[in-house]
Copies of this chain bind each other. A is one copy, B any other.
């Protein structure tokens, strides 16, 4: 099992969001006093601060009462739920979605991502991955024995686009990349790709025959009405070369129900269903019913949620930018910020552990998003507003202790 030892070493979860309590922290020396304050776990959103879409439990319960036909759906998900979701997602994105051929319901967007990668990455395939991007992307390439080809995103040098290095992208495609996987808005920076960037990605993928997986998990949470461009709805690329992933786990706080969807290329959706059949059979049957709440939130609910998140974002940006040596780009969408720190006397991994143990503040180290991000960390600011602000104050204090 040496091959497996090697593989599983590369897909470690010790620093992954939510796993921090499993870390061995016995050997860490703690310099200075502990800082008091309500613990804040910035590794994911706080669904107690931002509650799930109203009515979710009611439709779940109705699903349970439907009995067998809700418990045992097709592997790709209940037909009526797919029809409902296809209609809503076609309306939202502008893409054509046939409920029978182009959509699958999955256990969370993580489930959708895993299936999409398993359906498109063969052993040895080159996969272009943005730096930085969602930490699981690289691990998925490792797991499927692909080869990661990094493409830089210069998010600090731009403000009206993501800053994707299109020359690098084209060179990667020329060099035989089979798949391009990216999140939009970008996780962890919260930047949105400009229309020109999306068109360039579509044109290059079409030219070089590259398959594209677009992770649009946070695409409903766009601040200040910034333009958001759905790659799947551009007529510049063969729709059979695109899979789009979305789900109600983030903005809608429905993560506890484990729901996601993937839509697009019929051939790949077919493969994803075959894979789902051996991975987990289907998204939880009763949970599937909860998708009815999605894109059907009460009037004003979504705009209120957006405004509340924007206010937290602005407050944290103000705090962080007041500190000499901290740089952070404004998130244009989603709930993430990805600040970079000045030079510290500890590594980012040590800083993250100290922060948790001494200040009750959990953040995710930048190295999860690309090995070069040794001075960055990610926070999910979907938190209690005041607690989040106080936690950032403590974070800054701990940081100052270690500034070089």
In the complex, the answer to whether B119 meets A178 with C-beta atoms within 8 Å is no
CA distance A286 to B63 in the complex (A): 15
In the complex, the answer to whether B68 meets A47 with C-beta atoms within 8 Å is yes
A38-84 residues with Cβ-Cβ distance < 8 A to B are: 44, 46-48, 51-52, 57, 60-61, 63-64, 67-68, 70-75
CA distance A72 to B253 in the complex (A): 11
Q: Taking the nearest CB of chain B, how far is it from the CB of A97, in angstroms? A: 18
Q: Is A190 on the interface with B (CB-CB < 8 A)?
A: no
In the complex formed, the residue of B with least CB distance to A145 is B123
Q: Is A327 on the interface with B (CB-CB < 8 A)?
A: no
Q: Is A8 on the interface with B (CB-CB < 8 A)?
A: yes
CA distance A284 to B61 in the complex (A): 15
Residues of B within 8 A of A61 (CB): 57, 61
In the complex, the answer to whether B284 meets A16 with C-beta atoms within 8 Å is no
Q: Is A366 on the interface with B (CB-CB < 8 A)?
A: no
Copies of this chain, how many? 2
Q: Taking the nearest CB of chain B, how far is it from the CB of A101, in angstroms? A: 11
Contact of A286 among B4, B16, B68, B256 (CB under 8 A): B256
Residues of B within 8 A of A72 (CB): 18, 44, 47, 255-256
Q: Is A318 on the interface with B (CB-CB < 8 A)?
A: no
A70-104 residues with Cβ-Cβ distance < 8 A to B are: 70-75
Per the CB 8 Å criterion, the residue count for chain A at the interface is 68
In the complex, the answer to whether A11 meets B57 with C-beta atoms within 8 Å is no
In the complex, the answer to whether B255 meets A285 with C-beta atoms within 8 Å is yes
A359-396 residues with Cβ-Cβ distance < 8 A to B are: none
In the complex, the answer to whether A257 meets B286 with C-beta atoms within 8 Å is yes
In the complex, the answer to whether B71 meets A256 with C-beta atoms within 8 Å is yes
In the complex, the answer to whether B136 meets A277 with C-beta atoms within 8 Å is yes
A85-137 residues with Cβ-Cβ distance < 8 A to B are: 106-108, 110-111, 114, 119-120, 122-123, 136
Segment touching B, from A155-163, A267-275, A307-315 = A267-275
Q: Is A1 on the interface with B (CB-CB < 8 A)?
A: yes
CA distance A273 to B275 in the complex (A): 19
In the complex, the answer to whether B123 meets A3 with C-beta atoms within 8 Å is yes
Contact of A47 among B67, B73, B74, B287 (CB under 8 A): B67
Instruction: Give per-residue flags for A1-38: 1 if the beta carbon is below 8 A from chain B beta carbons, else 0.
Output: 11110001001110010110110000000000000000
In the complex, the answer to whether B75 meets A19 with C-beta atoms within 8 Å is yes
Q: Taking the nearest CB of chain B, how far is it from the CB of A270, in angstroms? A: 8
Could you pull out 20 A-B pairs where Cβ atoms are within 8 angstroms? A4-B122, A4-B271, A8-B275, A16-B277, A44-B72, A48-B67, A57-B64, A61-B61, A63-B256, A72-B256, A106-B280, A110-B278, A111-B280, A123-B123, A136-B277, A139-B277, A256-B285, A257-B286, A258-B285, A284-B287
